[in-house]
Amino acid sequence: MTLPNHFELLATDGAARTGRLTTPHGMVRTPAFMPVGTAGAMKGMHWREVREAGADIVLGNTYHLMLRPGAERIAALGGLQRFTGWNGPMLTDSGGFQVMSLADLRKVSEHAVTFRSHIDGAKVELSPERSIEVQRFLGSDIAMQMDECVRLPAERDDIERAMRLSLRWAERSKRAFESAPDGYMLFGIVQGGDIPQLRHASAQGLVEMGFHGYAIGGLAVGEPQAVMLAMIDETAPALPTDRPRYLMGVGTPDDILEAVKRGVDMFDCVMPTRNGRHGVAFTRFGQVNLRNARHADDPRPLDEASTWPSARNYARAYLHHLVKAGETLGAMLLSEINIAYYQFLMQGIRDAIAHGTFEEFYQRTRADWSRGDI
């Protein structure tokens, strides 16, 4: 049974697209970058800064929130938006990926993944049905199917096994989701590693089931960028053009620009906030590592023409000092500066596609990144 479509394509330029996705908590302009608020907070930032930076939607994690404070508790407190104070659209990942990267003693069976909580060692079972139930309790606008993601490089047998399990879990996730109210969405996740035929089989299986949108999973797991881009080239054309495509866990500004060029609409990554906490700034002219001593006497701001006040009002020397001194303000300023840069990039991408000038935008943006005089 085909699910209703909440995505509207506004313009295309080559394979690049710009559109908007309507959710119960508001509109999402695409291509969109979703800042990652894993445990119900954007580390080092107030939600008002996330909104002012231009983010329409943020990501939360089933794995973290079900372990602490608990999905039923968040539901009893009114759901994620009421609980956190972010009153806009939220997407939640389904938990399987995080179990494999964070939990101890984890085991995958046909029925579910079982693991011990990294917080208190409690034994936990996460089935597709429980993952959907948790995401419904959280009240997220876009839920993800439960899947199994294999790190690369991997044997073809293992990639195929995980891809076929993920298809069976897609079916069970969809069945468990069917009682969700109108407007709430469920995305399927394409697996298949770095093997084109398996990518095609996964995409075809999901499209036959029908989802509100389709994620390209199983990437940004250690493979070179060229392999990631090749798998997007194999997968995006196999997905419906009228539904959103979401590349999970990606990425650097360069990854995002390349993936938009290949037809991807949504992104999420911890990079802007995590790198910010480690002293690395993203700017229009590339990355700046403020731990480097060369900034100690530099009175210039990161970018005097930036639309974001903190990127034009603080000397690099001060940011360098804050980072070296381990001042909390350093992590806060660089997190907001980086989220603001990512949203500035997405706005530029959306405008360029809308005006049919994406190729020029692509070339100029990449040239600016490699200026190196920063």
Ligand X SMILES: COC(=O)c1ccc(CCNc2nc3cc4nc(N)[nH]c(=O)c4cc3[nH]2)cc1
∠ CA 178-64-329, nearest 5°, is 130
| Minimum CB distance to ligand X, residue 179 (Å) | 22
Q: Contact region for ligand X (CB under 6 A) — 94-102, 121-129, 194-202, 305-313? A: 94-102
Binding-residue pattern over the window 286 to 325 for ligand X, x denoting contact by CB under 6 A: ----------------------------------------
Residue closer to ligand X by CB (options 54, 249) is 249
With binding defined as CB under 6 A, does residue 229 bind ligand X?
Answer: no
* 194 lies in the site for ligand X, by CB under 6 A: no
CB 350 within 8 A of CB 18: yes
Smallest separation, CB 94 to ligand X (Å): 5
Residue 162 interacting with ligand X (CB under 6 A): no
Task: Supply the minimum distance, in Å, between the C-beta of residue 127 and ligand X.
Answer: 14
Integer Cα distance of 306 and 250 in angstroms: 24
- φ/ψ of 155, rounded to 5, equals -70, 145
Q: What does the alpha-carbon distance between residue 229 and residue 54 come to, in Å, rounded to a whole number?
A: 27
Of 58 and 352, CB closest to ligand X: 58
Instruction: Pick one of 49, 56, 141, 147: the residue that binds ligand X (CB under 6 A).
Output: 147
- 91 vs 353, which CB is nearer to ligand X? 91
Q: Is residue 157 annotated as a catalytic residue, yes or no?
A: no
Considering only 84, 94, 306, 335, the residue that binds ligand X (CB under 6 A) is: 94
Contact residues for 28 (Cβ-Cβ < 8 A; gap 6+): 20, 21, 22, 56, 57, 89, 266
Size of the site for ligand X (CB under 6 A): 19
Q: How far apart are CA 11 and CA 120, in angstroms?
A: 49
Provide the 3-class DSSP secondary structure of residue 277. Answer: helix
346 binds ligand X (CB under 6 A): no
- Reported in sequence order, the residue ranges of 101-150 that DSSP labels E, i.e. its strands, are 104-108, 113-116, 123-126, 142-144
x-or-dash string of contact with ligand X, 232-271, rule CB under 6 A? ----------------xx-------------------xxx
- SS3 percent helix, strand, coil of the chain, rounded to 5, is 45, 20, 35
Q: Which of 126, 144, 290, 323 binds ligand X (CB under 6 A)?
A: 144
The verdict on whether omega for the bond into residue 153 sits within 30 degrees of 0, i.e. cis, is: yes
Burial code (b: 16+ CB inside 10 Å, e: under 16) for 48-74 equals ebbeebbbbbbbbbbbbbbbeeebeeb
Nearest to 306 by CA among 323, 276, 283, 339: 283
93 is catalytic: yes
Q: For residues 29-88, which are near ligand X according to CB under 6 A?
A: none
Amino acid, single-letter form, for residue 148: E
Contact pick of 220, 264, 288, 290 for ligand X (by CB under 6 A):
220
**Among residues 264 and 271, whose Cβ is nearest to ligand X?**
271
Does residue number 149 form part of the binding site for ligand X (CB under 6 A)?
yes
Q: In whole angstroms, how close is the CB of 338 to ligand X at the nearest point?
A: 10
Binding site for ligand X (CB under 6 A): 93-94, 96-97, 144, 147, 149, 189, 217-218, 220-221, 248-249, 269-271, 274-275
Which amino acids are annotated catalytic? 93, 268
